[in-house]
């Protein structure tokens, strides 16, 4: 199981605790939110840098976009 999936399972467990324990509902929801935030972080894509071949036919603005977003 990857980290994102594990974090989502933890968030689900805390949501279930919130339903089962109304007296501490807010505390369990806060914990679930923390795990959801960790899942979002774990699910972000890696940044990849691409070096363009100087002889390629890609227009210069496109090369800039590749460097910024690739």
pLDDT in tens, 1-56: 788 899 999 999 999 999 999 999 999 999 999 999 999 988 775 555 556 566 65
Q: How many domains does the chain have?
A: 1
Residue 2 confidence (pLDDT): 86
- What crossing angle do the helices spanning 25-43 and 3-20 adopt, rounded to 10°? 170
- Phi, psi of 42, rounded to the nearest 5 degrees: -70, -25
Tell me the average pLDDT across 44-69: 55
Domain that residue 17 falls in: 3-69
Is the pTM for the entire model greater than 0.95?
Answer: no
């Amino acid at each position: 199981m990857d980290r994102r999936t594990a974090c989502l399972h933890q968030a689900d467990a805390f949501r279930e605790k919130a339903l089962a324990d109304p007296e501490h509902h807010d505390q369990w929801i806060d914990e679930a939110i923390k795990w959801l935030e960790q899942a979002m972080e774990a699910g972000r894509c890696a940044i990849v840098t691409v070096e363009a071949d100087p002889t390629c036919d890609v227009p210069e603005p496109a090369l800039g976009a590749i460097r910024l977003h690739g």
